[in-house]
Chains A and B, each alone.
Chain A
Amino acid sequence: MSMVRDRAPTRITAAATATFAVVGLGLIAALLLGAWPLIGEPRPLANLLGGLWDPLRGAYGLAPFFVGTVVVTATAMALTLPFSLAVAVVLSRPLPDGVRLGATRVLTVLTAVPSVIFGWWGLLAVVPWVRARFGGAGFSLLAAGLVLAIMVTPTLSLLFYQALRSVPRAFRDGSAALGATPDQTLVRMELPCALPLLIQAVLIAVARAVGETMAVQMVIGGQTVLPTGLTSPGATLTTQILTDMSIFPPGTRGHAVLDVMALVLMVGMYLLVRLAERWVAMP
């Protein structure tokens, strides 16, 4: 009896792990299966890398969405990186305990805000701002990048803060005792020491930005042509899947393309995770 009870936790956890593996592999298998008709066509890469998205005429070029994803993510990261790092540095400096606690609590709450709310706010505030400032519709890659930047900042600030906090107090004291100013300690000691964790934080933020769908869809404009600039509307891989999933029924060629897009995203994410692990494994 007791043997059975002793083994129960192991069995439950093993079953959970197995389920998880089956679901994960099943997901990939389903996507591969769905994408197969397209991959089996002649010159699949040339078709998919083209710049023309015209499903009615059988053209499924994904270049506009690749460009959209990269540009939106890069814009968001360029905006959030310095800002998040600044927030983290302030939090890691001597502060009254109440201020630090209050600030980290606010950031933690902000990380839990659903993305649709950020998108809603983007619709009400960011899109009109871009329209007023740069002309055009306002729905644009820039608006999407701005919304994403705001959305990612709480998470990235907290991750950066944890990375800086991982530097032992003894190192900071040692640096200060040698006559380093707080900024010198930051640049010459804390940032190099925390570098692996900082890079991991950035990769997590990039993954979040690449994967975000709803908030981006609400402000990006949903254009399927190659964007001509930051302020022109566009689409990303994730938003285009959202847009088209109700249009292409399973079995159609368009549905196979959506499966390919999902596969591409998963492979990209996998590479990001591997990169993140590699950096943290560094001494």
Chain B
Amino acid sequence: MGLDIHVNKLSVWYRGHQALRQVSLDVNAGEVLALIGPSGCGKSTFLRALNRLLDEDLGARRTGQVMMEGVDVLAPEHDITALRRRVGMVFQTPNPFPFSIFDNVAYGLRLQGTNDAAALRRTVEESLRQAALWDEVRGKLRRPALALSGGQQQRLCIARALAVGPEVLLMDEPTASLDPLSTARIEELIGNLRGRYTIVLVTHNLRQAARVSDRTAFFAHGSLVEIGPTRQIFTVPQDPRTEEYLTGRMES
């Protein structure tokens, strides 16, 4: 399950400043790929290019290709709505909408025109189960999502993303604002989702990358420095810059 992604010479400029330089890499179906690197190295920009959230920013320009099943999803004529249904996203700060728990998870389905109550209920329950939140919120689906704890809110956002049936999940530092216990639950959840979804995870937490990812890509100054199996990146990095960063000697 999941989807192969081939990124070919992706460059992004923000108002004249180049944020990504000719990045080429492959993401394999069903794997967890961790993106690490100093702040401002282009990890989040890379993520936002994959679902074209960059397009919402008038100041952003890009070149290159992102191929999914042989189609360049960055091509202007590619259906952006269809792309975002296949490529879900979880943000750095949990951003549940100020609606009920149920309406949050059902949001994406309703966008697609699903109004059948039974079908909505089924998918909402299934998504909440997948996001390991069901046991905590069953019977309370009408309560406001903002009343949940930070960790629960983030799992709700994951459920919301899963509800539209994506094949890829982009996670932009999903545990940055969470306590250690909630972080552990999200990491466990990522482990459970591995194989069913292709997951690209941006993280500042090197141990997290080591714990949950199959492969790791190291970015610096907008360029991809190195990509490889996580164990290898963390034990025998090929590039001296990777080693400097991992040992805390790199200045961003």
Contacts and interface: CB of A to CB of B under 8 A. Distances in A.
Interface of A: 94-96, 168, 170-181, 184, 188-189, 192-193
Contacts of A170: 91, 93, 95
B206 interface: no
Interface stretch (B25-33, B67-75, B77-85, B226-234): B77-85
Contacts of B110: 188
Contact of A179 (B56, B57, B82): B82
Interface stretch (B130-138, B156-164, B237-245): B156-164
Contacts of A193: 97-98
A189 B81 CA distance: 16
Contacts of B107: 175, 178, 188
B117 interface: no
A172 to B, nearest CB: 8
27 contacts: A168-B95, A170-B91, A170-B93, A171-B97, A171-B98, A173-B56, A173-B91, A173-B95, A174-B95, A174-B160, A175-B97, A176-B53, A176-B56, A176-B84, A177-B51, A177-B84, A177-B161, A178-B84, A178-B107, A178-B108, A178-B164, A179-B84, A179-B111, A180-B81, A192-B99, A193-B97, A193-B98
Contacts of A188: 107, 110-111
Which of under 10, 10 to 19, 20 to 34, or 35 or more describes the interface residues of B? 20 to 34
Contacts of B119: none
Contact of B58 (A95, A179, A184): A95
B89 interface: yes
A85 to B, nearest CB: 21
Interface of B: 51, 53, 56-58, 81-82, 84-85, 88-89, 91, 93, 95, 97-99, 107-108, 110-112, 157, 160-161, 164
Contacts of B97: 171, 174-175, 189, 193
A193 B146 CA distance: 13
Given A179-B108, A180-B111, A174 B91 contact: yes
Given A170-B93, A174-B160, A179-B85, 7 more contacts: A95-B58, A96-B58, A168-B95, A171-B95, A174-B95, A175-B97, A184-B111
Listed residue (B81, B97, B160, B161) with the most chain A CB atoms within 10 angstroms of its CB: B97
A177 B53 contact: yes
Given A175-B107, A178-B84, A188-B111, A94 B56 contact: yes
Nearest to A168: B95
A188 B93 CA distance: 21
Given A170-B95, A171-B97, A177 B89 contact: yes
Q: Which 6 A-B pairs have the closest CB atoms?
A: A170-B95, A178-B108, A179-B84, A177-B89, A174-B95, A179-B81
Contact of A181 (B81, B85, B95, B108): B81
A61 B53 CA distance: 62
Contacts of B82: 179
A237 B107 CA distance: 48
A95 B99 CA distance: 28
A189 B104 CA distance: 11
Nearest to B87: A177
